[in-house]
Amino acid sequence: MKQLLTVSALALTLALSPVAYAANDASSASKTTQAAKAPYDVQFLDTMSEHHRDGIKMMELAVDKAQSAEIKQMAQKGIDDQTKEIDELKSMRNANAPEAVNIKLPGMMPKAKMEQDMAKLEAAAGSDFDKHFLQTMIKHHGGAVKMSDDAMAKAKRDDVKVKAQQIHDKQKSEISDMQEMLKRMK
């Protein structure tokens, strides 16, 4: 039993070590290198889906932790909207194409930064959580706007350009709404 605990402790230590993070970063870099070889449209569709999944994680925290009913409601609507949009993005891609999440596309947040933001949100409470959530989501949505702008300039397919414009417009509108909420909190 003692040996099992020692092995478990060692495994946990290694998993949390800088070497493990470096290996994870190397794996992500390899995936990004492969993704960068995919057609741009597939990169955008897959990377925006990943971006939305990250946003959903933050919004799920807000549904549980926000003090403001308005923020809770906005977060739940965001979860519903982005879940639907992920399905739309998936339906637009070639199902046979390998996944092409390219973390180097403009506006995509590195996983380490996303994890750092999530840790701060998890640690915050009350009105501090609400303020931090709005500030974090404004930046996150700004990333989606950048990625959409890039897609409007580089995508080959018209339907991908139209979807990028829709995402751009929706995210800009939501940024404006969140900035207003943040102003009312000060």
Give CA–CA dist 80/78, Å, rounded. 5
Q: Which residue in this structure is represented by tokens 């070639």?
A: 94
CATH topology of domain 38-185: Ferritin (1.20.1260)
pLDDT tens, residue by residue, 9-41: 333 333 333 333 333 443 444 455 688 899 999
Amino acid type, 109: M
With a CB cutoff of 8 Å and minimum separation 6, the contacts of 114 are 54, 57
Considering all CA atoms of the chain, what is the largest pairwise distance in Å, rounded to the nearest integer? Answer: 62
Question: Is residue 125 within 8 Å of residue 90, measured between CB atoms?
Answer: no
The encoded tokens of residue 145 equal: 């706007």
The full set of domain ranges for the chain reads 1-35, 38-185
| pLDDT tens digits, one per residue of 36-92 | 899 999 999 999 999 999 999 999 999 999 999 999 999 999 999 999 999 999 999
pTM of the model as a whole = 0.82
Helices (H), 37-157: 40-65, 69-92, 111-123, 126-154
**Contact, 52 vs 81, CB < 8 A?**
no
